[in-house]
Amino acid sequence: MLSRESSATLMSAVAAFIYKEARFQDEHQYEAWEALWTDDGVYWVPANGDDIDPEKQMSIIYDNRSRISLRIKQLLTGKRHTQTPQSRLRRVVSNIELMDEQPGGDISVASNCLVFESSLRDDTVWAARNEYRLRYVDGELRMAYKKVILVNNEKALFTLSFLI
Amino acid sequence: MNVVPRASQWGELIRPDRVHGSLYSDPAIFEAELQNIWYRTWVYVGHESEVPNANDYVVKSIGPQSVIMTRDEQGKVNLLLNRCSHRGNQVCSYDKGNARSFTCPFHSWTFANDGRLVGYAFPDGYEGQDKSKLALGRVTRVQSYRGFVFGSFAAEGPTLEEHLGGAAETIDRLVRFSPEGEVEVTAGFLKHRVKANWKFIIENECDGYHPAFVHSSIFGVADSAIGKLYGGASTAVTRDYGNGHTEIDLRPEFRKRDAPMSWFGTTEARLPDYTARMKAAYGDQTAREIMIDGSPHVMIFPNLFIAEIQMFVIQPLAVDDSVQHVTALQFKGAPDMNRRLRQQTMGSVGPAGLLLADDSEMYERCHRGVLARNPEWIFLGRGEKRERQDELGFKVGHVTDEIPSRGIWRHYRSLMETR
Ligand code: FES
Ligand SMILES: [Fe+2]
């Protein structure tokens, strides 16, 4: 159990990390966002429920580190049509909470997130519960795991080609 | 326009090498399509493997209508309309499950999973009613082909085999990728919604002209040999099977490569179990041929698209609103192969797919484009002068030619002209 003081320090570091991640995503800073990942990172957006088995069931995104990298490379070509022009984005992150500690020492964090997307098609609002596992690597916080639980993941969704 | 053309007028909108933009954007034409296509011809609904056990059900659709696919106690597959025969309430509100009966939440009428009305609440007041006339609505004809279940609301008309015609052989080709000869649909569907007319989607499925451009962002960065299949020098062909069914036949290219599993971007050595099972099932020579040729790329009109490794079901909701339901194909008896099929499918399709998101962007932009009034036509003449016939008499052309679109529209016209 962390002391009150150290947990407040950790909380502010975690919140700063999550706000920074949100800004990189909103501003399409693809390389900076990719650099937030650890080498074993997993980026997961389930479909049809919150706790499906991604090894057996289809997910909207289930990227290991090399596919995260491929996704970023594709965006960086500037020819990912659904992001040319890029979606205009702003997200609000709140309800950041430190969750139970992970066995490997990773920091478990959860937050709520609301994203406003304006694209050629229309304006779309996305809402999600985000779960993270963060880890200190060389003194910096990094993401080892990010799970984005879209509130409407059971429904038919419009194209989601920005970084959610 | 907002007026449904009379039978004699469709020819003014649909010409051999071009079609009028209003066909994609006019709500009255969409309503006519529901009657003449979706509620009449054979439409793919679901796969038998989605309801493996007695009393299993899944909720599917035909156009905007909700359809419950059930397997009853006798093992028979039924397609029931999700609409209470009392006052229309939807009797089933879950996507899937196991139930002997459905009880309507409004006034508690209860229907067996074969559609029969088995009881109503407070039965006094219903003296003299004939329960058998108050069953759930059914899709009039239900037939399956190798596990793929199709429904037709028309009591009369071609049989499913007649409807599938030459395209049935592509399904035969597909199921051979299972060492047990069966496809399984078990991974759940991604549902990707687009603000576009459904015909943009089905035409795109066998449009070999676009991949080099729409998908250049991913072909450029992924170590993928797919791009070459759709280049100017490709020997792959497009085919029109009639009845609106179309194909991109990539076998000529894969046969040149002569390497088993190259169509899937892998090798036999990386799938040792699968390769061994295929050889045990079909013999070395045939297994090798199957694994060189690759799985088909075929669009079964109006809504089933088999894209080598995945299956799409296209659902129109409104003239400008469609859903692409997509899942990884799973081959019975092929766990190592199935894992790769899921991984690759998740990467390429669905709302965030590295491929499909860009296709979907094109449909939506096309849809907005056709609302413009001049020019009002969509030009589909590519390759018209170099069409030829294959050994079986089907029209074929270069992989980048618009034979599939012309085939779809020819069939469409025949359906719309017949009342
Ligand atoms: S509407 Fe179903 S019982 Fe009344
Ligand atoms: Fe495409």
**DSSP codes joined into one string, B187-227:** S--EEEEESS-HHHHHHHHT--SSHHHHTHHHHHHTT-SHH
| C-alpha B56: how far from chain center | 22
> Cα of B261 to ligand 2 centre, how many Å?
21
Task: Nearest chain A residue to B185 by CA: give it.
Answer: A57
pLDDT tens-digit series, residues A104-147: 789 999 999 999 999 999 999 999 999 999 999 999 999 999 99
The C-alpha atoms of residue B56 and residue B185 are separated, in whole angstroms, by 14
Tokens of B185: 């649909």
**Residues of A with Cβ-Cβ distance to B191 under 8 angstroms:** 47, 155-157
Taking residues A11-32, what's their average pLDDT? 98
Give, for ligand 1, the residue of B93, B101, B106 to mutate: max count of ligand atoms closer than 8 Å to Cβ.
B106
pLDDT tens-digit series, residues B185-228: 999 999 999 999 999 999 999 999 999 999 999 999 998 888 89
What does DSSP assign to residue B88? -
One-letter amino acid for residue A67 of the chain: R
CB contact under 8 A, A157 and B362: no
Q: What is the pLDDT of residue A42?
A: 98
One-letter amino acid for residue B358 of the chain: D
**Residues of B with Cβ-Cβ distance to A57 under 8 angstroms:** 187-188
Taking residues A86-101, what's their average pLDDT? 95
Model confidence at A2: pLDDT above 70: no
Neighbours of B401 (CB within 10 A): 24
- B196 within 8 A of B364, measured Cβ to Cβ: yes
Model confidence at A5: pLDDT above 80: no
Peptide bond before residue B302 is cis, with ω within 30 degrees of 0: yes
Q: What is the pLDDT of residue B89?
A: 98
Q: How close B359 gets to chain A, by Cα (Å)? A: 9
CB contact under 8 A, B352 and A47: no
The C-alpha atoms of residue B66 and residue B91 are separated, in whole angstroms, by 10
One-letter amino acid for residue A114 of the chain: L
Residues 6+ apart with CB under 8 A from B367: B24, B25, B195, B196, B197, B200, B320
Q: What is the pLDDT of residue B224?
A: 80
Phi/psi of residue A52, nearest 5 degrees? -70, 165
For residue B352, give the nearest of A56, A57, A60 by CB distance: A60
Q: What is the pLDDT of residue A1?
A: 55
| C-alpha B190: how far from chain center | 14
Average pLDDT, chain A: 95
CB contact under 8 A, B327 and A58: yes
Instruction: Please give the biggest Cα pair distance in chain B.
Output: 75
Instruction: Find the ligand nearest to B83 CA.
Output: 1
**Strands of B96-98's sheet in order across:** B77-81, B65-71, B56-62, B96-98
Ligand 1 atom closest to Cα of residue B88:
1
Residues 6+ apart with CB under 8 A from B89: B83, B104, B105, B106
Tokens of B208: 């070999």
The per-residue b/e assignment along A67-90, b for 16 or more CB within 10 angstroms, e otherwise, is bbebbbbbbeeebbbbbeeebebe
Torsion angle defined by CA atoms of residues A102, A104, A106 and A109, in that order, rounded to the nearest 10 degrees: -20
Phi/psi of residue B286, nearest 5 degrees? -65, -40
**Residues of B with Cβ-Cβ distance to A59 under 8 angstroms:** 346
Tokens of A84: 């040319």
CB contact under 8 A, A67 and B220: no
DSSP secondary structure of A42-64? EEEEESSSSS--TTTS-EEEEE-
Give, for ligand 1, the residue of B80, B92, B107 to mutate: max count of ligand atoms closer than 8 Å to Cβ.
B107
Give me the interface pTM, i.e. the ipTM. Answer: 0.96
Q: Number of A to B CB contacts under 8 A, please give it.
A: 108
The C-alpha atoms of residue B315 and residue B302 are separated, in whole angstroms, by 9
The residues pairing with B44 across neighbouring beta strands, listed in sequence order, are B150
The C-alpha atoms of residue B411 and residue B245 are separated, in whole angstroms, by 9
Burial class (CB in 10 A: 0-12, 13-18, 19+), B104: buried
Query: Considering only CA atoms, which residue is closest to atom 3 of ligand 1?
Result: B107
Kindly state if the Cβ of B386 falls inside 6 Å of ligand 1.
no
Kindly state if the Cβ of B103 falls inside 6 Å of ligand 1.
no
| Percent of chain A whose predicted confidence (pLDDT) is above 70 | 96
Report angle CA B67, B69, B75 to the nearest 5 degrees: 155
Phi/psi of residue B382, nearest 5 degrees? -60, 125
- B296 within 8 A of B173, measured Cβ to Cβ: yes
**Which of B405, B389, B209 has the alpha carbon at shortest distance from B299?**
B405
Query: Considering only CA atoms, which residue is closest to atom 4 of ligand 1?
Result: B107
**Strands of A37-46's sheet in order across:** A59-63, A37-46, A140-150, A123-137, A107-118, A88-98
Q: What is the pLDDT of residue A7?
A: 86
The per-residue b/e assignment along B300-332, b for 16 or more CB within 10 angstroms, e otherwise, is bbbbbbbbbbbbbbbbbeebbbbbbbbbbbbbb
Q: What is the pLDDT of residue B1?
A: 54
**Which of A49, A39, A93, A96 has the alpha carbon at shortest distance from A69?**
A39
| Regions of chain B with pLDDT less than 50 | none
Q: What is the pLDDT of residue B374?
A: 85
Confidence of residue A47 (pLDDT cuts 50, 70, 90): very high
Q: At what angle do helices B198-205 and B356-369 cross, to 10 degrees?
A: 130
B183 has a chain A CB within 8 A of its CB: no
CB contact under 8 A, B358 and A120: no
Tokens of B98: 């196991």
CB contact under 8 A, B217 and A59: no
Model confidence at A3: pLDDT above 80: no
Q: What is the pLDDT of residue A124?
A: 98
> Cα of B121 to ligand 1 centre, how many Å?
10
Q: How close A109 gets to chain B, by Cα (Å)? A: 24
Q: What is the pLDDT of residue A158?
A: 98
Ligand 1 atom closest to Cα of residue B91:
2
Tokens of B103: 């009880």
CB contact under 8 A, B362 and A81: yes
Q: What is the pLDDT of residue B2?
A: 64
In chain B, the N- to C-terminal Cα span, in Å, equals: 20
Q: How close A140 gets to chain B, by Cα (Å)? A: 29
- B132 within 8 A of B116, measured Cβ to Cβ: yes
Instruction: Find the ligand nearest to B355 CA.
Output: 2
Task: Nearest chain A residue to B218 by CA: give it.
Answer: A74
CB contact under 8 A, B361 and A159: yes
Query: Considering only CA atoms, which residue is closest to atom 1 of ligand 1?
Result: B87
Q: What residues in chain A have their Cβ under 8 A from chain B's Cβ atoms?
A: 45, 47-48, 52, 55-63, 67, 70-71, 73-74, 77-82, 120-122, 154-161, 164
For residue B357, give the nearest of A56, A155, A161 by CB distance: A161
Across B215-260, where does the E strand assignment appear? 237-242, 245-249
Instruction: Find the ligand nearest to B87 CA.
Output: 1
> Cα of B87 to ligand 1 centre, how many Å?
5
